Amino acid sequence: MDRDRRKQLKAIGKAEVERRSEELKRALEVANRSPIGSDAWAAGYAAGTHREQWLRRKTPVLHQKKLHELFVVRPEHGNGWGPYPGGYVLCLTCGSAVPSMIRRKFFYWRSCVCGNIRWRCILFFWCRVVVRDSEQLAPIKLIGRS
């Protein structure tokens, strides 16, 4: 790889980092509209953090109205999606957010509104996810609103 090509790739990388930083900054401003540094901002930040902790602890399925009421939805960048604790996928058919991975539970029987994604867990040892159309899924990140 020659020097000019390295410089070009470095400039492209810097532009992408800047674009993603601005996108994250806008999402955080939507999540907490109070001026940064104020007591209201600190209280809003704490409320948003508590919502994110609740999300990781309970792993609920969030339907469209509740999802946008409690969280700011951002697309997760990358190639495809993989399950990880606290990760969510968005069903593009109905707009529900479904956990990409759950801890084994005594009983967990949930699905999105349209039934494209269905979680089934019984008695800790049997856990299964069924996805009808994987093309209708998008990995997302959720930021708690204040």
Q: What is the pLDDT of residues 74-95, one digit of tens each?
A: 988 766 667 777 789 999 999 9
Torsion angles phi and psi, residue 144, rounded to 5: -65, 135
pTM for the full model? 0.80
Cβ–Cβ under 8 Å, residues 142 and 52: yes
Cβ–Cβ under 8 Å, residues 32 and 45: yes
Cβ–Cβ under 8 Å, residues 108 and 121: yes
Q: How many CA atoms lie within 13 A of 42 on its CB side?
A: 3
The partner residues of 108 in beta bridges, in order of sequence, read: 121
Low-confidence ranges of the chain (pLDDT < 50): none
